[in-house]
Amino acid sequence: MRVVQLGVGSVGEVIARTLAAQGEVSEVVLVDVDEDRLRQVADRIPHGKASYRALDVRDADRLAAVVHGADVTVNALVPEFNLEVMQACLHARSHYLDLAAGGPRELLGTPDMDEQFALGDAFRERGVSALLFCGIDPGASDVFARALYDELDVVEELVVYDGDGGRVDGYEFATSFSPAVMVEECLLCPPERFEDGRFVTSEPLSVSGEFRFPDPVGPMRVWHIDHEEPALMARFLGDKGLRLASFYIGLADAWVELLRSWKRLGFAHKREIEFAGCRFRPFDLLVSRLPRSVDLVGKMHGSVCVGTLAVGRRDGVAVRRFMYQITSHDEAYRRLGVQGTGYQTGIPGACGALMLLRDQVGGPGVWACEQLDPGTFLALMGELGCPWGVVDLPAEG
């Protein structure tokens, strides 16, 4: 089987290396605009399985040529390229997987998830499958939600919590994944939650609470931010009485203050401005000041936990069950020489890609992780070194 891996940043590297280690994968073609990075990742893939092409995926002809002949194409770029890559996969009859949605279109100028789901008929006609938003969150968080949903008779709340208790040597501010996406979801997009049958938006960084993650992460202040899961869970897991679907992430106070300052200074949008004879987007300038997630390798310590809390009832008894995955940054470095978020995201991404290659995704069409068989996905996560846990929390809390 031939895999084309678009983007070899911190997540793409882990997906490519994990897939290359599977017997059924004979070849992995790495694609990125950054040639040094391509060389570095190709060197880490043994048995002559890897080749690479340096290209900018905005070049549609070169993108089509590189995807030609792929059994699966993994898109670990930034979400602005999702539709172009899906179109290239349709043309080449390649399965497709990505890790995050863009949008809202009117705010960010990038495709939102409805635009991707709208390609369902086209994928069915071409006889190939697309699995959308398949990392840790979104991705495993949605599979956890589906597993909990299947267990319970009534599911009133599904809330994802993401907490990184780690620290980074040498950087005061750093994001453990694509800085552009992190700033977009924390600052640019009003977070949306599903509440009592409708979607409710808030001001960015206006809703917070405390959540106690399993050890060693422990209690953290968490913030309601924009994410894919509330819309996906309301769409696919709403039939057992869902009243609330939401997403929270742990953010240090200093990071929240910094984000708010950027907003006060007029950086919280993606419009071009003119300054000293140059036209540029302040957002791009701001993001360029943050380290890339691959720059953090070997410098992150501590652990990151992502999980989904389901509140509901089984056999008439109230249940609050949290299903989660914890990765240690130090352990990820010891195992693969990567940082924990790349590891924790890349392994579920590889699970999704393998399910596509093994025809375990539900046939041709465009699929969300809520529609996967959770047992197959979760077993693969364990096999590939990303074990998960479940804990019952006190009924009130």
Ligand X SMILES: NC(=O)c1ccc[n+]([C@@H]2O[C@H](COP(=O)([O-])OP(=O)(O)OC[C@H]3O[C@@H](n4cnc5c(N)ncnc54)[C@H](O)[C@@H]3O)[C@@H](O)[C@H]2O)c1
- Residues in the interface with ligand X (CB under 6 A) total 32
Query: Where do the H-state alpha helices sit in the chain?
Result: 10-20, 35-43, 60-67, 82-92, 105-108, 113-117, 120-126, 140-151, 179-183, 229-236, 253-264, 282-288, 329-336, 340-357, 374-383
**67 sits near ligand X (criterion: CB under 6 A):** no
Question: Whole-angstrom Cα distance, residue 276 to residue 370?
Answer: 49
**250 sits near ligand X (criterion: CB under 6 A):** no
C-beta closer to ligand X: residue 85 or 90 = 85
Question: Whole-angstrom Cα distance, residue 153 to residue 167?
Answer: 40
C-beta closer to ligand X: residue 56 or 359 = 56
Per CB under 6 A, the segment of 17-25, 51-59, 196-204, 205-213 that binds ligand X is: 51-59
CB of 34 to ligand X, least distance (A): 4
Report the DSSP beta bridge partners of residue 154. 313
| Member of 3, 15, 18, 32 binding ligand X (CB under 6 A) | 32
**139 sits near ligand X (criterion: CB under 6 A):** yes
Question: Whole-angstrom Cα distance, residue 77 to residue 265?
Answer: 29
CB of 282 to ligand X, least distance (A): 19
C-beta closer to ligand X: residue 180 or 311 = 180
Backbone angles phi, psi at 393, to 5 degrees: -100, 160
**78 sits near ligand X (criterion: CB under 6 A):** yes
Question: Whole-angstrom Cα distance, residue 140 to residue 151?
Answer: 17
**143 sits near ligand X (criterion: CB under 6 A):** no
| Member of 1, 29, 42, 76 binding ligand X (CB under 6 A) | 76
- C-alpha of 257 from chain center: 25
Per CB under 6 A, the segment of 136-144, 146-154, 242-250, 322-330 that binds ligand X is: 136-144
The label of the residue with tokens 């050890």 reads 215
Please give the structure tokens belonging to residue 242: 């869902």
Contact positions with ligand X (CB under 6 A) in 186-245: none
**136 sits near ligand X (criterion: CB under 6 A):** yes
| Of the candidates 74, 79, 88, the residue with the CA atom closest to the CA atom of residue 109 | 79
Contact 297, 10 (CB under 8 A): yes
**293 sits near ligand X (criterion: CB under 6 A):** yes
| Member of 1, 4, 11, 231 binding ligand X (CB under 6 A) | 11
Question: Whole-angstrom Cα distance, residue 362 to residue 365?
Answer: 8
Nearest position to ligand X, beta carbon: 9
Per-residue exposure over 119-129, b if at least 16 CB sit within 10 Å of its own CB, e if not = beebbeebebb
Q: Taking the C-alpha atoms of 109, 125, 74 and 352 in order, what is their torsion angle to the nearest 10 degrees?
A: 110
Q: Taking the C-alpha atoms of 221, 100, 144 and 326 in order, what is their torsion angle to the nearest 10 degrees?
A: -50
- C-alpha of 218 from chain center: 23
CB of 243 to ligand X, least distance (A): 25
Contact positions with ligand X (CB under 6 A) in 145-174: none
Per-residue contact track with ligand X, 344 to 363, x per CB under 6 A? Answer: -x------------------
**131 sits near ligand X (criterion: CB under 6 A):** no
C-beta closer to ligand X: residue 43 or 239 = 43
**324 sits near ligand X (criterion: CB under 6 A):** no
| Member of 99, 225, 245, 361 binding ligand X (CB under 6 A) | 99
Give the footprint of ligand X on this chain (CB under 6 A).
7-12, 32-34, 37, 56-58, 76-79, 99-100, 135-139, 177-178, 181, 292-294, 341, 345
